[in-house]
């Protein structure tokens, strides 16, 4: 095991006069050699239905069983609906539908036939069901061709939309088309603008952005390799959010490191010495922060929903890669460039500023020192008021409606949603997207009879058999819309009925069953994952702060902040954005992200507070820690909230909701929890917040200050 001195040298190598060149050379080699793999991430993304389902769900097992019917190719229908609003369809409308049927024929899956045109009972609509295969690489083009043909030469007054499972799938895929590049460009633009405002320098912003670029390449390469060779689950949603996370946390770490480097440049004439000390002093907080976020996200591996597992594990990879770039390539670039990168506010070394390195407290007054003084006058009142504000916001979460229907999943209605609304108005609502029952062939008749007797079932027919004849699939048309609560209730009844059939070994799947299974798994995952996340984060904080009281206090404040953010988000969803409900996965996703990211800022604050308390005593140390970190943490919080706001602009409601929730939560942590709640609690509790460490039992003496400075001077000589 390397000696502590060797570890310190390794950790500060990016700030060395010679070793910075080695660090930069290593990164250039990595990017040049492995960069081409970054563009292949899309090749390992899984966009199948099971990628977004619970791993052990019955509906996922049905999808797996259906692969036996036609290999890995699944038949998925596109449904064209021809309708009139105020009158019955005409002979010309029927002729148009028949002509379209002939034009659609070349696109039909082998061995399948087009159904229809099927007239609606009210005479106002016609329906064509066009079976396509997911094994066709051109299925997106096929759906677009169907839509193009259907829209051409339509009789006046006839509305034609193409939806069904195939249309819905393609509309979902369109959401993720170019999502990675769009999010990266938008996030990069937001980060660049905020860095320009933060640093007021035309040059300095370039170095964090360039370093994040290195991190993005390493992240994509690592994710691709792990997905291809280690079965890391990657779906389009996790791949898109990955870049936002890398930009957000990477920029946060850059802000923290650069702020500490600027401090040390005032105290040390040699910029290399300044960077080595900046790495020593801010490095543990950055590493602890990244470790907490990565471990917290990795706890989603315990989730049952595959998309949640993917987002957690892929996100953990991104955070680790961002950490590596920010503590290696960024410091190397900064010391290579010199002090001029801070122009026009270049930090100068003076004898006065250097005196601070000898243990003399700084006298400069800032907005953060004034805030600290206000809190110190009435700390108990400050934290009680902070809790009251957050609790009022949290109460708004009591009225949340959970579960989005397919029509509510998009900020702007795609064609498939409009088609489903037309189908529901004129046909049995479930006709465009029937449930699927897979049974053993000898028990088919009994299973079909059982299914037909379920309330809410419109009709049942045998759809297909496997090649060996052992399995039969039943197509079950429901009376209610596939994404309605009534349809989900019917699925429960259907499962109960067919599961009782001896020898059937029946499984019930389809879109409605998938939605039902996902909702129940989301509820279960909350009970499993949240305790794991809390326990893991608590252990990390205990190890970092060497205390039991402080970690419990910090964790409690972040959990309170989460509920406040959830309530505030609900108000925005309902009264500003007009979302019908909250996505089932949001409470868990939001909790994991906000606990991990919220603890991030508390770690930045409390590690600095602990450092100052050891030198100045508890009260002065708390105020000095708040004053010295106030600016950088506020900047970091604004940057991170802004990067997640980019997600809020996405057309998929579930992603927009995640962006809003995390953004609000980060701002609450930045401006209320870290600024007021945590410092006031620390002041009110006093030194016992550090119990059982030495800081909680004794007051630091001046000889300890001298010893600290003697050790730093010795390190500088080395």
Query: 165 with 194, same domain?
Result: no
In this structure, are 401 and 549 located in the same domain? yes
In which band, very low, low, confident or very high, does the pLDDT at 387 lie, cut at 50, 70 and 90?
very high
Read off the pLDDT of residues 552-575 as tens digits, 9 standing for 90 and up: 999 999 899 999 999 999 999 988
Pick the more confident residue, 667 or 41. Answer: 667
pTM: 0.81
Q: Report in angstroms the alpha-carbon separations of 656 from 237, 486, 636, 661, 666.
A: 12, 27, 21, 9, 15
Report how far residue 184's alpha carbon sits from residue 245's, in angstroms, rounded to the nearest whole number: 10
Residue 457: phi and psi, rounded to 5, are -90, 125
Q: Is residue 31 part of a domain?
A: yes
State whether 37 and 184 are in the same domain.
Answer: yes
Higher pLDDT, 354 or 556: 556
* Token couple for 527: 């009970």
Q: Peptide bond before 344: cis, by omega within 30 degrees of 0?
A: yes
Sole residue written with tokens 């001077």:
713
Sheet holding 159-163, edge to edge: 115-119, 125-133, 75-83, 159-163
**Alpha-carbon distance values, 693 to 545, 548, 603, 606, 614 (Å):** 9, 9, 17, 14, 11
Among 29, 23, 28, residue whose Cα is nearest residue 11: 23
> Residue 310 in contact with residue 234, Cβ under 8 Å?
yes
CA separation for the pair 662, 659 (Å, rounded):
5
pLDDT at 644: 83
Residues 167 and 183 grouped into a single domain: no
Q: How do residues 131-167 score in pLDDT, each as one tens digit?
A: 887 654 567 888 889 999 988 888 888 899 998 888 8
The residues, any chain, with a CB within 8 Å of residue 531's CB and separated by 6 or more, are: none
- Angle (CA) 39-218-233 rounded to 5° is 70
Element (H, E) at 462: strand 457-465
d(CA 437, CA 447): 9
Q: Are residues 576 and 604 in the same domain?
A: yes
Q: What is the pLDDT of residue 577?
A: 85
Strand ranges, E, within 426-562: 435-440, 457-465, 471-478, 507-509
CATH number at residue 170: 3.30.70.360
Q: What angle do CA 84, 87, 93 make, to 5 degrees?
A: 55
Residue 63 covered by a domain:
no
Spatial CA neighbour of 245 closest among 188, 301, 307, 319: 319
Residue among 256, 389, 394 nearest 677 (CA): 389
Give a yes or no: residue 61 inside a domain. no
Pick the last residue of a domain from 159, 174, 189: 174
Q: Residue 317: which pLDDT band, with cuts at 50, 70 and 90? A: very high
Rounded average pLDDT over 529-558:
89
Q: 10 Å Cβ neighbour count for 3? A: 8
| Cα distance between residue 159 and residue 81, in whole Å | 8
pLDDT of res. 581: 85
The C-alpha angle 335, 341, 342, rounded to 5 degrees, equals: 115
Are both 451 and 376 inside the same structural domain? no
DSSP label at residue 127: E
Indicate whether 196 and 254 sit together in one domain: yes
Write down the pLDDT at residue 515. 87
Q: Which domain holds residue 332?
A: 1-51+178-358
Which residues have C-beta within 8 Å of that of residue 187, sequence separation ≥ 6?
243, 244, 247, 248, 643, 646
Q: Mean pLDDT, to the nearest integer, of 408-421? A: 83
Q: What is the pLDDT of residue 715?
A: 44
Distance (Å, whole) CA 519 – CA 28: 46
The answer to the question of residue 68 being in a domain is no
Q: Residue 394 domain-assigned?
A: yes
The pLDDT, as a whole number, for residue 697 is: 65
Number of domains in the chain: 4
What is the signed CA dihedral for 311, 316, 319, 320, rounded to 10 degrees? -150
The pair of three-digit structure tokens given for residue 552, joined into one six-digit string:
């419990």
Q: Is 528 exposed, middle or buried (0-12, 13-18, 19+ CB in 10 A)?
A: middle
> Cβ distance 235 to 51 under 8 Å?
yes
H helix or E strand, kind and range, residue 458: strand 457-465
Strand partners, 461: 475
The CA-based dihedral angle spanning residues 641, 643, 649, 652, taken in that order and rounded to the nearest 10 degrees = -100
Residues 302 and 333 in one domain: yes
What CATH number does residue 488 fall under? 3.30.70.1320
- Comparison of pLDDT for 188 and 89, the residue scoring more: 89
What pLDDT does 372 receive? 86
Q: Indicate whether 330 and 199 sit together in one domain.
A: yes
131 with 75: CB under 8 angstroms?
yes
Distance set, CA 458 to CA 71, 429, 430, 461, 490 (Å): 30, 10, 8, 11, 11
Question: Is residue 687 within 8 Å of residue 700, measured between CB atoms?
Answer: no
Q: Say which range, 191-195, 254-258, 462-466, 709-713, has the weakest mean pLDDT.
A: 709-713
Residues 57, 517 contacting (CB under 8 angstroms): yes
Distance, CA of 93 to CA of 406 (rounded, Å): 28
Helix axes 444-452, 485-499, angle to 10 degrees: 140
Quick: pLDDT tens for 686-697.
888 888 877 766
Does 543 have pLDDT greater than 80? Answer: yes
Residues 260 and 197 in one domain: yes
Tokens 């500490």 sit at which residue? Answer: 260
Average pLDDT over residues 517-545: 88
Helix (H, G, I), strand (E, B) or coil at 457: strand
Are 354 and 232 found together in one domain? yes
For residue range 506-519, list pLDDT tens digits in order. 999 888 898 889 88
Task: Work out the average pLDDT over 267-289.
Answer: 86
477 and 463 Cβ atoms separated by less than 8 Å: no
Which of 431, 412, 422, 444 has the alpha carbon at shortest distance from 511? 431
pLDDT over 70 for what percent of the chain?
90
| CATH, residue 706 | 1.20.1640.10
Distance CA 347, CA 228 (A): 47
CB crowding 365-384: b at 16 or more within 10 Å, else e: eeebbebbeebbeebeebbe
Three-state SS for 481? coil
What are the φ and ψ backbone dihedral angles of 483, each rounded to 5 degrees? -100, 15
In a domain, 59, yes or no: no
Rounded CA separation 373/378 (Å): 9
Q: Tokens 């129940």: give the residue.
A: 520
Kindly state whether residues 274 and 213 are assigned to the same domain. yes
β-sheet bridge partners, residue 163:
79
Report for 116-125, 382-391, 403-412, 705-714: range of highest mean pLDDT: 382-391
Residue 523 confidence (pLDDT): 87
Residue 341: inside a domain: yes
The encoded tokens of residue 702 equal 């001046």
In a domain, 417, yes or no: no
């Amino acid at each position: 095991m390397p000696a502590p001195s060797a570890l310190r040298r390794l950790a500060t190598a990016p700030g060395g006069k010679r070793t910075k060149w080695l660090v930069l050379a290593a990164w250039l080699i990595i990017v040049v050699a492995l960069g081409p793999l970054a563009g292949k991430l899309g090749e390992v993304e899984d966009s199948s239905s099971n990628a977004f389902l619970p791993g052990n769900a019955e509906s996922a097992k049905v999808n797996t069983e259906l692969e036996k019917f036609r290999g890995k190719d699944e038949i998925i229908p596109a449904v064209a609906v021809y309708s009139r609003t105020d009158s019955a369809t005409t002979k010309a409308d029927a002729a148009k539908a028949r002509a379209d049927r002939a034009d659609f024929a070349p696109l039909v899956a082998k061995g399948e036939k087009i159904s229809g045109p099927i007239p609606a009972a009210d005479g106002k609509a016609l329906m064509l069901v066009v079976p396509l295969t997911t094994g066709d690489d051109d299925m997106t083009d096929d759906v677009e061709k169907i839509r193009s043909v259907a829209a051409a030469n339509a009789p006046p007054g006839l509305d034609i939309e193409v939806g069904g499972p195939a249309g819905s799938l393609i509309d979902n895929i369109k959401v993720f088309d170019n999502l990675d590049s769009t999010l990266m460009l938008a996030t990069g633009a937001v980060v660049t603008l905020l860095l320009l405002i933060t640093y007021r320098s035309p040059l300095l912003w370039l170095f964090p952005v360039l370093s994040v670029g290195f991190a993005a390449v390493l992240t994509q390469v690592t994710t691709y390799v792990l997905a291809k060779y280690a079965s890391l689950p990657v779906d389009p949603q996790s791949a898109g959010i990955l870049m936002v996370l890398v930009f957000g946390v990477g920029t946060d770490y850059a802000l923290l490191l650069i702020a500490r480097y600027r401090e040390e440049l005032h105290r040390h004439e040699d910029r290399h010495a300044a960077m080595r000390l900046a790495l020593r002093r801010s490095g543990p907080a950055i590493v602890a922060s990244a470790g907490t976020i990565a471990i917290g996200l990795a706890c989603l591996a315990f989730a049952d929903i595959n998309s949640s597992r993917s987002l957690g594990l892929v996100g953990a990879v991104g955070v680790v890669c961002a950490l590596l770039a920010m503590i290696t390539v960024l410091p190397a670039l900064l010391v290579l460039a010199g002090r001029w990168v801070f122009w026009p506010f270049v930090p100068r070394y003076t004898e006065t500023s250097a005196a601070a390195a000898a243990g003399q407290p700084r006298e400069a007054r800032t907005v953060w020192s004034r805030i600290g003084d206000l809190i110190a006058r009435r700390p108990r009142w400050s934290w009680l008021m902070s809790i009251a504000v957050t609790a009022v916001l949290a109460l708004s979460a009591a009225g949340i409606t959970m579960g989005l229907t397919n029509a509510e999943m998009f900020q702007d209605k795609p064609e498939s949603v409009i088609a489903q609304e037309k189908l529901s108005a004129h046909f049995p609502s479930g006709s465009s997207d029937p449930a699927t029952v897979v049974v053993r062939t000898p028990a088919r008749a009994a299973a079909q009879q059982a299914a037909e007797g379920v309330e809410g079932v419109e009709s049942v027919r045998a759809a297909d058999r496997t090649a060996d004849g052992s399995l039969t699939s039943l197509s079950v048309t429901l009376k209610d819309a596939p994404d309605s609560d009534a349809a989900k209730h019917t699925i429960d009844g259907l499962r109960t009925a067919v599961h009782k059939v001896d020898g059937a070994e029946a499984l019930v799947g389809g879109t409605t069953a998938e939605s039902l299974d996902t909702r129940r798994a989301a509820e279960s995952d909350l009970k499993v994952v949240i305790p794991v996340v809390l326990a893991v984060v608590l252990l990390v904080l205990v190890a970092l702060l060497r205390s039991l009281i402080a970690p419990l206090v910090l964790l409690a404040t972040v959990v309170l902040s989460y509920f406040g953010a959830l309530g505030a988000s609900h108000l925005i969803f309902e009264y500003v954005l007009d979302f019908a409900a909250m996505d089932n996965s949001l409470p868990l996703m939001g909790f994991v992200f906000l606990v991990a990211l919220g603890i991030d800022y508390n770690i930045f604050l409390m590690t600095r507070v602990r450092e100052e308390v050891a030198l100045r005593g508890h009260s002065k140390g708390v105020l000095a820690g708040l004053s010295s970190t106030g600016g950088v943490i506020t900047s970091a919080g604004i940057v991170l909230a802004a990067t997640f706001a980019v997600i809020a602009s996405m057309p998929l409601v579930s992603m927009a909701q995640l962006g809003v929730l995390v953004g609000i939560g980060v701002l609450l942590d930045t401006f209320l929890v870290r600024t007021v709640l945590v410092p006031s609690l620390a002041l009110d509790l006093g030194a016992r917040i550090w119990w059982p460490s030495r800081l909680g039992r004794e007051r630091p003496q001046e000889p300890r200050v001298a010893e600290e400075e003697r050790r730093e001077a010795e390190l500088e000589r080395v």
